[in-house]
């Protein structure tokens, strides 16, 4: 994050704008809407800017810029076409520890203006960190279409009831859960429909029975193989509501960053023979946190029900009658195949696909190898990097040809994705040389031959 988003309170604050052309006029509109006591320094200004200053009581100082123009000011904006003047304004402002924005010169800015969706008092700011203002404006237009104008009235309504709700529900977590239900329910609909009296009645009814808001819930969410864009809408929405997030090592940092900033994060990752938190303790922790009235997200790489032990976790929740939801995710096998350009099925190569785990609970790879011999079936092994030599050996011993194509996809769907291809007889040597890291996924079958032709389009 190159800039920290903040909101300045500028009502009656002394602000100086240097420059009075088209760009300066745009900045003046924003500053005056925010209630700034604006002084414009420029030999000439646009007719619109002159009218704005007259309407809002601003000052036009008809002169060239000097350093004394910054004295006793709280914020500085430079919008002149002269680079040397802008550089001097930046130097003078930083010497006085004043926030300064030089339009279209990110290198001279200590703060920048975002694109704004204004639903006062609800304000949404979008910034490209000065890299692409056009992209930020395009995103603003999309958000404008998604956020009704009545959200401002809803924010005002919530503000009026904030102290009332805090008095009725003093504990932070249940109070937040109460507000989340209000904002997603009938009360909010009544406010946005212009029926605030009815909304107030409904809110008071809900406050009269606050015990119902102490019930927690668990969301078992499949985070997919790594790319945050592969998360479902439901997964992203529920992740934003969580008080606590339990996550494992397969969950990428960009996905974890989608959680609320104030959510507690608990790492419960597991590696082969190295479990940070044993599975039975994870199961119990989900129950305990939910019984404290918290919304708990168990964030799992891939899909919770495909080698994710999700079934074990919800068993205990069901026994304790803890409400839960399971949100499926794109399993690693599908994600790795698509992003590496290897179709798992193809009319000319494979008519079926089989998913298998690369190691069992005791660390062995005791699979029914006789079932893995069809040349028209693709094999996908999860967690098989350590056991790769055994997998290759047993497939060949039980009848697979030694020249059967095989691929290893390392850190699938992420920027670090790497695909290694070979055959059952050569891949072990390739892995020893290239040293891929977990997580990796193994695909066996003639579909691997399509990788070279298709990876440029679907792969990384």
- Give the pLDDT confidence of 161-179 residue by residue, as tens digits: 999 999 989 888 788 888 8
| Residue bearing tokens 């298709």 | 454
Q: Is position 445 annotated in a ligand binding site?
A: no
Q: How far apart are CA 28 and CA 51, in angstroms?
A: 11
Q: How far apart are CA 411 and CA 227, in angstroms?
A: 10
- Give the pLDDT confidence of 230-284 residue by residue, as tens digits: 999 889 888 988 889 999 888 989 999 999 888 999 999 865 555 567 889 999 9
- Establish whether 415 is a catalytic residue: no
What would the two tokens of residue 282 be?
């994870």
What average pLDDT does this structure show over 181-206?
Answer: 86
214 has pLDDT over 60: no
Q: Can you give the pTM of this predicted structure?
A: 0.64
Structural Rg of the chain based on CA atoms: 30
What would the two tokens of residue 459 be?
């792969």
Count Cβ atoms below 10 Å from residue 56 Cβ, excluding itself. Answer: 16
Q: Is position 331 annotated in a ligand binding site?
A: yes
Q: How far apart are CA 430 and CA 425, in angstroms?
A: 10
What pLDDT shows up at residue 372?
93
Residue 30 contacts residue 7 (beta carbons within 8 Å): no
Residue 402 contacts residue 395 (beta carbons within 8 Å): no
Q: How far apart are CA 195 and CA 436, in angstroms?
A: 61
Give the E-state strand segments of 226-336 in sequence order.
Answer: 244-247, 264-267, 270-271, 274-275, 295-300, 324-327
| Catalytically annotated residue among 248, 274, 291, 294 | 248
What would the two tokens of residue 294 be?
């918290």
| Lowest-confidence region among 11-25, 92-106, 192-206, 427-441 | 192-206
Residues 6+ apart with CB under 8 A from 409: 336, 337, 339, 340, 342, 417, 418, 419, 440, 441, 443
Give the E-state strand segments of 186-331 in sequence order.
Answer: 217-222, 244-247, 264-267, 270-271, 274-275, 295-300, 324-327
What pLDDT shows up at residue 356?
94
Q: Is position 23 annotated in a ligand binding site?
A: yes
SS3 label, residue 298: strand
- Give the pLDDT confidence of 398-440 residue by residue, as tens digits: 999 999 999 999 999 999 999 999 999 999 999 999 999 989 9
Nearest to 46 by CA among 20, 75, 12, 83: 20
- Give the pLDDT confidence of 30-51 residue by residue, as tens digits: 999 999 999 999 999 999 999 9
What would the two tokens of residue 306 be?
């495909």
Q: How far apart are CA 420 and CA 233, in angstroms?
A: 32
- Give the pLDDT confidence of 63-87 residue by residue, as tens digits: 999 999 999 999 999 999 999 999 9
SS3 label, residue 421: strand
Residues 6+ apart with CB under 8 A from 356: 367, 372, 379, 380, 381, 382
What percent of the chain has a predicted confidence (pLDDT) above 90? 64
What pLDDT shows up at residue 276?
62
CA 334-254-261 angle, 5° bins? 135
What pLDDT shows up at residue 378?
97
Write out the H or E segment, with its range, that includes residue 409: strand 405-410
Give the pLDDT band (50/70/90) at residue 146. confident
Q: Is position 54 annotated in a ligand binding site?
A: no
| Lowest-confidence region among 1-5, 215-219, 332-336, 405-409 | 215-219
What pLDDT shows up at residue 145?
81
- Establish whether 300 is a catalytic residue: no
The DSSP bridge partners found for residue 379 are: 354, 444
Q: Is position 332 annotated in a ligand binding site?
A: yes
DSSP helix, strand, coil percent of the chain (3-state; round to 5): 40, 20, 40
Q: Is position 39 annotated in a ligand binding site?
A: no
| Residue bearing tokens 């290759």 | 392
SS3 label, residue 184: coil
290 has pLDDT over 60: yes
| Catalytically annotated residue among 69, 118, 270, 288 | 270
What pLDDT shows up at residue 343?
94
Q: How far apart are CA 141 and CA 193, in angstroms?
A: 23
Nearest to 76 by CA among 67, 89, 87: 89
SS3 label, residue 300: strand
Count Cβ atoms below 10 Å from residue 449 Cβ, excluding itself. Answer: 15
């Amino acid at each position: 994050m190159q800039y920290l988003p903040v909101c300045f309170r500028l009502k009656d604050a002394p602000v100086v704008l240097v420059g009075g052309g088209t760009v300066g006029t745009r900045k003046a509109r924003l500053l005056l809407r925010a209630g700034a006591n604006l002084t414009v320094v420029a030999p000439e200004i646009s007719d619109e800017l002159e009218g704005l200053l007259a309407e809002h009581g601003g000052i036009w100082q008809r002169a060239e810029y000097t350093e004394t123009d910054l004295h006793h000011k709280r914020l500085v904006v430079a919008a002149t076409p002269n680079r040397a003047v802008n550089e001097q304004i930046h130097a003078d402002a930083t010497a006085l520890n004043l926030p300064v924005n030089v339009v279209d010169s990110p290198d001279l800015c200590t703060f920048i203006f975002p694109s704004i969706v204004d639903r006062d008092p609800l304000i949404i700011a979008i910034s490209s960190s000065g890299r692409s203002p056009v992209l930020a404006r395009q995103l603003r237009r999309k958000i404008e279409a998604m956020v009704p104008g009545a959200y401002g009235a809803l924010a005002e309504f919530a503000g009026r009831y904030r102290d009332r709700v805090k008095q009725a529900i003093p504990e932070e977590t249940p109070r937040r859960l109460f507000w989340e239900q209000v904002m997603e329910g009938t009360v909010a609909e009544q406010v946005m429909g212009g029926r605030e009296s009815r909304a107030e009645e409904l809110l008071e009814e809900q406050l009269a029975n606050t015990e119902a808001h102490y019930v927690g819930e668990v969301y078992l969410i499949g985070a997919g193989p790594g790319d945050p864009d592969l998360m479902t809408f439901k997964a992203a929405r529920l992740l934003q509501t969580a008080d606590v997030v339990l996550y494992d090592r397969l969950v990428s940092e960009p996905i974890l960053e989608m959680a609320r900033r104030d959510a507690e994060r608990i790492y419960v990752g597991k590696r082969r023979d190295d479990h940070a938190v044993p599975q039975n303790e994870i199961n119990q922790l989900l129950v305990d946190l939910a019984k404290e009235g918290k919304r708990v997200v168990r964030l799992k790489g891939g899909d919770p029900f495909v080698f994710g032990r999700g079934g074990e976790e919800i068993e205990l929740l069901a026994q304790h009658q803890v409400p839960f939801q399971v949100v499926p995710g794109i399993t690693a096998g599908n994600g790795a195949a698509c992003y590496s350009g290897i179709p798992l099925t193809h009319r000319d190569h494979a008519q079926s696909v089989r998913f298998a785990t690369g190691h069992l609970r005791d660390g062995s790879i005791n699979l029914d190898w006789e079932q893995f011999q069809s040349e028209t079936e693709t094999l996908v092994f999860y967690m098989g990097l350590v056991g790769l030599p055994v997998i290759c050996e047993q497939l060949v011993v039980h009848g697979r040809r030694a020249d059967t194509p095989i691929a290893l996809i390392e850190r699938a769907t992420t920027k670090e994705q790497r695909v290694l291809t070979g055959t059952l007889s050569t891949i072990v040597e390739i892995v020893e040389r290239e040293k891929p890291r977990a997580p990796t996924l193994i695909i066996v079958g003639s579909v691997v031959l399509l990788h070279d032709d298709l990876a440029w389009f679907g792969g990384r």
